[in-house]
Amino acid sequence: MKDAQELKSIVKQKYGEIAQKSLEELDGSTCCGTQCCGGEPYDLTSFNDDYTNLKGYNKEADLKLGCGVPTEVAAIKSGDTVLDLGSGAGNDAFVARAIVGDSGKVIGVDMTEAMIAKAQKNTITLGYTNVEFRLGDIENMPVQADSVDVVISNCVLNLVPNKKKAFSEIYRVLKPGAHFSVSDIVLTRELPVGLQQAAEMYAGCVSGAIQRTDYLGIIEKTGFQEVQVKVEKPIWLPKDVLLKYLSPEEVEKFTSSDAAILSITVYGEK
Residues in the chain: 270
Residues of the chain with pLDDT below 50 are 1, 28-46
Domain residue spans of the chain? 4-269
Can you give the pLDDT at residue 133? 98
pLDDT the model gives residue 37 = 40
Predicted pLDDT of residue 68:
92
Distance CA 2, CA 58 (A): 36
What tens digit of pLDDT does each residue of 78-111 get?
A: 999 999 999 999 999 999 999 999 999 999 999 9
The pTM for the full model equals: 0.87
* pLDDT at residue number 24: 60
8 Å CB contact between 106 and 130: yes
Q: What was the pLDDT predicted at 41?
A: 34
Using alpha carbons, select from 161, 182, 175 the residue that is nearest to residue 71. Answer: 182
pLDDT of amino acid 51: 92
- pLDDT for residue 244: 83
pLDDT at 198: 67
Q: What is the pLDDT of residues 231-267, one digit of tens each?
A: 999 887 778 878 888 888 888 888 887 768 889 999 9
pLDDT of residue 195: 76
3-state DSSP assignment of residue 118: helix
* CATH code for the structural domain at 4-269: 3.40.50.150
Distances in Å between the Cα of 207 and the Cα atoms of 19, 114, 227 are: 22, 24, 24
